[in-house]
Chains A and B, each alone.
Chain A
C-alpha cells in the first residue's frame, strides 16, 4: 500500500477564491492511501516547495498529489521538487484545480466538490504509479540541410562553423535558390549575386560541408539524434570528379537554344546539357534526360535487325565527343545514398503564384504582362536581355510601366488570403530600377495598402515615390487588354473614388509567395505537418518558431511562411543555434513515459504493430516465442498500442490500464 501525500495550493486567491481548499485538504486525509494532507498559499514558490520536501521526509510519503494549476504549467517543477525529497520524479500526479475548476466554475460548492473529485482521481492514479527512469540515446552529430537557397546556405555554414559535419541536399543542379535569381535586393539595392555568390562558394569549399546537388530526400526513418535518411542522387550523366567546368559541352549542344531555362523563369533557353546560370555552384553541367537526344534514342543493343543490315546508331552525342576529359557518362544511374544524421533542417523555400489564374490580367497570354521574377531576370545583366528593360512583344523600350501589387496575395477569391510580405518592397525596388535605367519612362504602382514593416523599408518606399517619382495609385486593376500596340488598364482610384483607364507599354505583376508544390510530400516523408497553404507548420509561432513537431527537425526561411531575406537569414541562424544546442549533448534523455510490451503476456497478435502511428513496434522472436517489442526511442507515448492490446501486454508507462481504471473508480466510488 502506498503512502500518498496531498498538497492543495491556494494559488493566492486563484484557487482558494472559488474552492474551499481547507475542506478539500481535510477530506483528502480520508481518501484510501492518503497519509498526509495540507494546503498552502503558493506551492510552486521556494517556501512552498520546501514545505512539500519536508512533509515528504517527515511523513514517509512515497507518492505525491498536488492540487494546483494545470500540469502543463508546473508538472516539471514539482517532479524536481519531489526528486529533491528523494522520490522518483514520476511518483507524482497533478489535480488541475485552477484551469479546470476555479477559473471555470461559478458556484463555490460545485467547485469544491469537483476539486475533491479531481484530487481523488489523482490519488487513485498515483497509487499505481511505478518509478520510471529516462532512457539514453546517443547523438549522431551530423546535420542534413534540405535546400540550398540562402536559408539552407546560412544554416549549413553556421552549423559547419560550429565544427559539425553537414550534408546539403539541393534538388536543382546548382545551389543559390531564389536569391540567385534576383537582381538587386531591397532596401539597400545590393547586387543579389554579389552578396550571395561568395557564400555559395563557401559552402562548396567548406571542409565540413558535403554538397549533393541534383538530389532529393526520399525517405526518413529514426528519431532525434539518430535519423536514417535515404537520398536519391539523380544521374547527372557528367562525372563530377573529372569535369573541370570548361562548358565546351554546353556551348556545342545542338538543343542549346531550344529548351526554356527554369532559372530564367523560362524567358531564356538552355540546352539539354546545361548549367542553370554562370555562377552556378558546383559548376558542373547536367544532362536533362527528358530532352537529350542520345538518352532518348533507343539503345542499339536492344534493337534486333535482320542479318547484314546495320544497326541504327544513337543520335547526337556531341557533348561526349567534345569533352576531352571523357567526363560524359551516358550510362550513369541514379544513386541511393543512406546516411545517418542527428538533426534535419528544412530550408526548401517557396514558389511564386502563377498569374495564369488571373484571367482579368490576360492569364499569361499577353506578352507585355510579366511577373516580378521575369523582371528580375530581365533587369539582370546576365539575364535574357542582358539587363535591358524592353517590351517582350517588340523589344522596344517601354515609355510607361505599370506595376500591380497583390497578385496572388490578400485575394481570398484566389485562395490566398495572406500577405506575402515581400511584394510591396520588391515592387518599390523594381520601380526604382525602371526609373534608374529609363529616366524618361513613367512608372505607376497600383496598390491596396503599402506594407513596409522592416528596417529602412518605409523610407525605401518613400524614396521610390519622392526621389524616383513613382506614381502610387491606391486601387485594384480590374482588367488589362491589348489595343493598338498598347496595354489598356481599367482600374479604380479608391482615394479619389473614381474609375480610371490608363494606357501602358508594360505591366509587371507582383505575384505573391506560395508553398512549393512538393512541400506536402516532403512533410509526409519527414512525418510532419503543413498548414492549409502547404507551408511547414512550426510547433509554436512565437516561442518555437523554427521547431517542427518532430523532435530533431527544424525549419527556416520561406518554407515556413512568406518572408524576406533578412528574416530568412535570421531564422536560418536560429536553426543553426538549435542544432548546436542539440549537438552539445553526447547523450539525450528520452521520455520514460513510453510503451512497453510484457513478452510473457503478449500473444503475438500483431495488433499493436498495426496501429502504432510511429512504426515503433516490431515482432521479435526469442527461443521460438514470438512477441512484440517497442523501440523506446521511437515511441512517442501515445498509448494506442495499449488500447489495442487485448491481453493487456502493451502498457504505456505512467498511463497504465490499472492507473486509469483506478482513477475512474476513485472519482465515482470513493
Chain B
C-alpha cells in the first residue's frame, strides 16, 4: 500500500443496516479515511455481481459490500 495515496473504494451498503451505520458514524463524528464512496442500495439482495465488476473495470481500487 502506497502511503498518502488516495484510493477509490466503492461501497454498496444496505439502506437499513450498514448505510444507517455509516450515518451513525457521522453522527458520532468518527473520522475514517476518505477513500470510500458509499452507494445506497435497498438491501444487499439487490447486489448484482455486475456492479462489483463494473466498478473494478471502471478503475475502482476496491469494492466493499456490507449488509
Contact = CB atoms under 8 A, between A and B. Distances in A.
Given A100-B22, A104-B32, A668-B58, A121 B46 contact: no
Dominant SS at the A interface?
helix
Contact of A70 (B10, B23, B30, B50): B23
A522 to B, nearest CB: 23
B30 A104 contact: yes
Q: On chain A, which size bracket covers the interface?
A: 35 or more
Contacts of A113: 6, 34
Chain B CB within 10 Å, residue with most, of A104, A110, A667: A104
Given A71-B40, A121-B39, A638 B46 contact: yes
A99 interface: yes
Given A104-B29, A107-B34, A661 B46 contact: no
Nearest to B51: A660
A665 B19 CA distance: 20
Contacts of A640: 43, 45-46
Interface in A391-425: none
Contacts of B23: 70, 72, 96, 99-100
A642 interface: yes
Given A121-B39, A660-B39, A664-B39, A643 B45 contact: yes
A668 B7 CA distance: 11
Contacts of B45: 611, 613, 638-640, 643
Contacts of B20: 72
Contacts of B22: 99-100
A637 B14 CA distance: 12
Contacts of A100: 22-23, 26, 38
A124 to B, nearest CB: 10
Interface residues of B, number: 34
A652 B42 contact: yes
B23 to A, nearest CB: 4
Contacts of B51: 660-661, 664
A303 to B, nearest CB: 57
Nearest to B20: A72
B31 A639 contact: no
A188 interface: no
Interface in B3-28: 6, 8, 10, 19-20, 22-23, 25-27
Nearest to A613: B45
B41 A668 contact: no
B14 to A, nearest CB: 9
Give 4 closest A-B pairs by Cβ, nearest first.
A99-B26, A640-B45, A639-B46, A110-B34
6 contacts: A72-B23, A99-B26, A113-B6, A117-B37, A613-B45, A642-B46
Given A100-B38, A111-B34, 10 more contacts: A72-B19, A96-B23, A99-B26, A99-B27, A104-B26, A637-B42, A638-B42, A657-B50, A664-B39, A664-B54
Interface of B: 6, 8, 10, 19-20, 22-23, 25-27, 29-34, 37-43, 45-48, 50-51, 54-55, 58-60
